[in-house]
Structure 1
Amino acid sequence: MYGICNLSIVPLRAEPKDQSEMISQVLFGEYFEIIEKDKNWSKIKLAFDNCEGFIDNKQFKEIEYSEFQKLKESKEVYSGEVIDFISNVTKEFFTIPLGANLPNYNQQKFTLGNENYQFEGSILNKTLPKEEILQKAYVYLNTPYLWGGKTPFGIDCSGFTQMVYKLCGYKLLRNANEQATQGEVLSFIEESEPGDLAFFDNEEGEIIHVGIILNNYNIIHAHGKVRIDTLDHSGIFNADLQKHTHKLRVIKKII
């Protein structure tokens, strides 16, 4: 079984109940494999990053395997504004966030399952150069931190890096420790370029945080909010708190 999200921003839960931890979000147009399904909840695996969790059966549409395969093989098209609107054939309006998928998009029209939609906003459908990573990152500046979040209305550290790279045409995995397995290791901060990723660990050596390196030894990351701090060999120095908040583990070049 396969499905696609037909609502703006849907929580992906750790367990099949509304009170469970939100481990990620499923944005409009994201499609997935349904691993198991009961009366109220389905366990799914997102096609984009293989993230698994539970979604309410009322918050997605089932699609055929042929449609799932077609979506996997087609070029992704994303909405390009912080928030935008789509309409269906009965002129109902729906809001969609930055980075929502527009399946089967063609000349301001797209289809999701058997529904036809109109979208007149800006789109992102190209692999962008590395310098665009910073421009997309600044869009999320001051977004509140939200565990499991993936939008400009609430985002976590790895959701932030994943979405910024996604908007530029690159795939990152969902969590910081998974993203740290991607790309090429750099030995020193001096070797890094703006757009590279810096990873940080806890006292047990587990990677728990990630951010995007900027010019002049700065870093943009989600900590309380998406903010810009100083990066040095020890980690992230927060000028507001006058202390280091994260311990540097590794720097990775993805592009």
Structure 2
Amino acid sequence: MSTLAIVNVPVATLWTAPGKARELDAEALTNPQTLNKWLEKLPKPERLDLCDGNRIQSQVLYGEYVLIDEEQDGWAKVCVVHQKSDKDDRGYPGYIPVAQLQEATVQTSERYVIVTAPRAQLWQHGKPTIVVSFNTMLPYVVEDDKHFTVETPHGLQQILKAQSTVTASNAVGNPGTMAQAVQHGLAFLDLPYLWGGMSSYGYDCSGFTYQMARSVGILMSRDADEQAKEGKEVNHLDRSEWQVGDVVFFSDEPGVKPVRHVAFYFGDGQILHSHSTGLPVEILALEGSKLDKEVCAVRRF
């Protein structure tokens, strides 16, 4: 029987298997966590190996739920509750260090606080504690003029109202439009791509579309090929029909090979996306680019 647990570090990486973590990944496995030090140690070849070596599946934010199926040698086999996947109908499967999880009970709060800034500081007893990512969602407790008090894996903490807002769900932000999701995405321009990334420390292509959509109340599947089956179909051959916020999918051979990339339509023939390893979140003119002839689907949410 599975056990409900909660992530107790700013960003927990979901590994394909325990043996996939390398010695240089040590800072990503600890608690307390030094995520920036890990990323600083990952030049392009080592970042490419996260994908080519099938090392990372996804990431999970502070305070999010996972189901633990088993624990062995300091690792937990889990499913991520709010990341939809065809791989497991309970949520995206993978492995997280046990040290980055703690047992949890189902929250019954009617209000949650969602981080709207790229990153936000938490405080406890007037002292700064940890920095959390965009879209981190924590149960609302009370508020004053400047702060929300939230329930966290480390007890009651405070967050600035200037960096957050109240929502009714612990799965998604307040309802909005995908055009607004695109506007949220602009805050991450020039952020380096990270395979499996789901946080403001780095996104992969589908992690970027997933989190921006999630910020406006839309819960997509985690992976691009599954996102391409959701929403409403738009004629991908007639770009005059595309609207800002439509989700555009790409394949090496449209109609033959599977989806390999996803982006938002930004308007005026341009896309907003987290490109690939070695490249950042950017706005790209489709015409004349490699992606121009690889459009295989467009969906509207």
**TM class by shorter-chain length?**
0.7 to 0.9
Aligned Cα root-mean-square deviation (Å): 2.1
Determine if the alignment matches structure 1 residue 231 to structure 2 residue 265. no
Do the aligned residues in 2 keep the contact of 1:76 with 1:101 (CA within 8 Å)? yes
Residue 138 of structure 1 and its aligned partner are, at CA, apart by 0.7
Report the residue type matching 1:228 in the other structure. Answer: I
Determine if the alignment matches structure 1 residue 82 to structure 2 residue 82. no
After the TM superposition, which residues 28-39 of structure 1 pair with which residues of structure 2 at under 5 Å, given as runs? 28-39=62-73
1:43 to 69, 77, 94: 77
After the TM superposition, which residues 116-135 of structure 1 pair with which residues of structure 2 at under 5 Å, given as runs? 116-121=156-161, 122-124=163-165, 125=167, 126-135=174-183
Pick closer, same or farther for the CA change 1:193–1:29 going to 2, 3 Å. same
1:192 to 231, 242, 248: 242
Of Structure 1 and Structure 2, which has the larger fraction of its residues in helix?
Answer: 2
Residue 75 of structure 1 and its aligned partner are, at CA, apart by 5.2
Do the aligned residues in 1 keep the contact of 2:250 with 2:291 (CA within 8 Å)? no
Residue 39 of structure 1 and its aligned partner are, at CA, apart by 3.6
- Correspondence for 1:154: 202
Q: Give the secondary-structure state (helix, strand or coil) at the position aligned to 2:206.
A: helix
- Correspondence for 2:297: 250
- Could you tell me which runs of 5 or more consecutive residues in structure 2 were left unpaired when the two chains were aligned: 23-53, 84-90, 168-173
Residue 114 of structure 1 and its aligned partner are, at CA, apart by 7.0
Pick closer, same or farther for the CA change 1:248–1:169 going to 2, 3 Å. same
- Correspondence for 1:93: 129
Pick closer, same or farther for the CA change 1:210–1:116 going to 2, 3 Å. same
The more displaced of 116-125 and 28-37 is: 116-125
Aligned counterparts of 2:286 and 2:142: Cα–Cα separation in 1: 43
Aligned counterparts of 2:190 and 2:202: Cα–Cα separation in 1: 10
- Correspondence for 2:101: 60
Pick closer, same or farther for the CA change 1:244–1:198 going to 2, 3 Å. closer
Q: Give the secondary-structure state (helix, strand or coil) at the position aligned to 1:190.
A: helix
Question: What do the CA deviations read for 1:66-125 (whole angstroms, capped 9, x no partner)?
Answer: x25x37xx5553211112111235845111111112134542111135722222243243
Residue 177 of structure 1 and its aligned partner are, at CA, apart by 0.5
Do the aligned residues in 2 keep the contact of 1:42 with 1:54 (CA within 8 Å)? yes
Paired-residue identity, %: 25
Matched residues, number: 241
Aligned counterparts of 1:246 and 1:4: Cα–Cα separation in 2: 43
- Correspondence for 1:219: 271
Residue 151 of structure 1 and its aligned partner are, at CA, apart by 2.2
